[in-house]
Structure 1
Amino acid sequence: MHFQHADDIWRDFPELSAGALFIDGVRSDVSVEGEIRRLQAIANERLGTGSESELPEMKPTQYRSASEALLRRFRKEGSLPAIHPLIDLCNAASLAFAIPIAVFDLERVTDFLLVRRALGNETYLTFSGEVESPEPGEVIFADGEGRAHARRWTNRQSGHSAIRPQTTRALIVAEALHETARDDVERLTIVLSEAIAVAWGDRPSMAVLDRSSPRFDFTV
């Protein structure tokens, strides 16, 4: 299986940097509380200097960033609800780095994930169970069956491939477009890799992608 961005995405967004991790052996009976507290402390410190919209990672785009929404909720409520250890860890990392992160259950993905512009005939399942069709030209994560597993970059993930208690294999993707995106995405990917290795006992495969190295291959 592989993950990559289409050539025209790199052409139109040369500042894009993406980090990807493949983890095999996911379980829901592990604890990541210590790392979550550490990452949330970083987020609290950063939010202490201003609002989430003022962070340099919050480069204005057509769509509101998922990480900005997480930061706003965290600032107002002081915590995020526990969902699954892998999701909770990635949400905490998204808070600390102000970079959106998507996590996909690979058992629900066919053949590959390609970040490309939608044709308009793809299917997207919301978390409430409704089926939508992305708008033509919208940036989506599509698999071999034409199913959109995320819309508007990583900002609207599909309920179809959401992490579940029975998930065993997952792909984690972080994307950023701000000035220091390459360095920040690389640091974020390393932080997640180390935390996953501690919690699940196995270091994931990982890659930082750019236009010269746009594809991440992994064995499922």
Structure 2
Amino acid sequence: MIRLRHADEIWSDFPQLVPGVLYAENAQPSGDLERYWRIAAERLAAGPESALPEIQAWRQAFARMGLKPTQYRCAAESLLRRFRKEKALPSIHPLIDLGNAVSLAFAIPVAVFDADTIDGLLEVRYATGAEKYVAFSGDTEQPAPGEVIYADEHGGAHARRWTHRQSARSAVSATTRSVLIVAEALHDNASADIPRLLAALGDELPGAVNGVLSRDAPEFRTRP
């Protein structure tokens, strides 16, 4: 069973947080992802990604965490920035492509984890300084105490600086069959946008189960 939750300290410091979680087995997305690109293109035509309320909210959160917003961007802003410049995104893997496309359309960070590499509790919390993060370069890093990470029960960090960068530890690959997808938003309309985002993912992944977390209902669990 996989459990995902946000630590009490995260809820206390970011009470506006709205996380959405989806779990899908035998995940094989289909459909025209370019329709999500078109939504993103329409939004970017009205102004830069940094002006979008979804991105502004994450910039404020990063600043609160002591991170320079122009040096460390949430994943959604990085995707939108690249898409604005290149007018497209490269295809990496069908499940990653889906997460990226939906993230573009909603301007909300979407993390796609290989569920089979996660066992037990995955918690969004402040680092103690003892956790280990495996970069895509193969290097092992140690998040500083107080950094927001996705941490498992064995001291592995599956993402650094919250929504900035995922780890190679649970990256989707050619052998991935089941995924845990997490979307997190902090903007004023997040409580309406996260369910819409989960519905969009669910349309592409039939049979998936999902849930919206809150401080009163902070944990998502897959079946044993």
Q: Where does residue 68 of structure 2 map in the other structure?
A: none
Separation in 2, partners of 1:66, 1:37 = 19
Separation in 2, partners of 1:110, 1:123 = 16
1:160 alignment partner, SS class: helix
For the Cα contact (< 8 Å) 2:126–2:147, is it kept in 1?
A: yes
* Matching residue's letter, 2:53: P
Separation in 2, partners of 1:123, 1:92 = 29
Q: Which moved more, 1:131-140 or 1:108-117?
A: 108-117
Residue 104 of structure 1: which of 86, 109, 113 is its match? Answer: 113
* Matching residue's letter, 2:172: I
Question: Is 1:22 matched with 2:23?
Answer: yes
Q: Where does residue 200 of structure 1 map in the other structure?
A: none
Q: Where does residue 66 of structure 2 map in the other structure?
A: none
* Matching residue's letter, 1:156: R
**Structure 1 segment 33-72 matched on structure 2, within 5 A:** 34=32, 36-58=33-55, 59=57, 60=59, 61-62=61-62, 63-72=72-81
Structure 1 position 26, deviation (Å): 2.5
Residue 209 of structure 1: which of 200, 213, 216 is its match? Answer: 213
* Matching residue's letter, 2:210: M
Separation in 2, partners of 1:155, 1:188 = 19
Q: Where does residue 196 of structure 2 map in the other structure?
A: 187
What's the Cα RMSD here? 1.2
Segments of 5+ residues of structure 1 without an aligned counterpart are 198-202
1:42 alignment partner, SS class: helix
For the Cα contact (< 8 Å) 2:54–2:185, is it kept in 1?
A: yes
Separation in 1, partners of 2:161, 2:220 = 21
Separation in 2, partners of 1:21, 1:6 = 19
TM-score by length of 2: 0.91
Question: Is 1:90 matched with 2:99?
Answer: yes
Separation in 2, partners of 1:23, 1:155 = 23
Structure 1 position 141, deviation (Å): 0.6
* Matching residue's letter, 2:144: E
Report Cα offsets for 1:95-147 as digits up to 9, x if no partner.
Answer: 00000010111222231211111000000000110000011011111111110
Structure 1 position 154, deviation (Å): 2.4
Segments of 5+ residues of structure 2 without an aligned counterpart are 63-71
Separation in 2, partners of 1:40, 1:166 = 27
For the Cα contact (< 8 Å) 2:20–2:183, is it kept in 1?
A: yes
Residue 157 of structure 1: which of 160, 166, 170 is its match? Answer: 166
Separation in 2, partners of 1:54, 1:217 = 35
* Matching residue's letter, 2:18: S
4+ runs of 1 displaced by more than 4 Å?
none
Identical amino acids, percent of aligned pairs:
52
TM-score by length of 1: 0.92
2:169 alignment partner, SS class: coil
**Structure 1 segment 125-136 matched on structure 2, within 5 A:** 125-136=134-145
For the Cα contact (< 8 Å) 2:30–2:204, is it kept in 1?
A: no
2:175 alignment partner, SS class: coil
Aligned length: 211
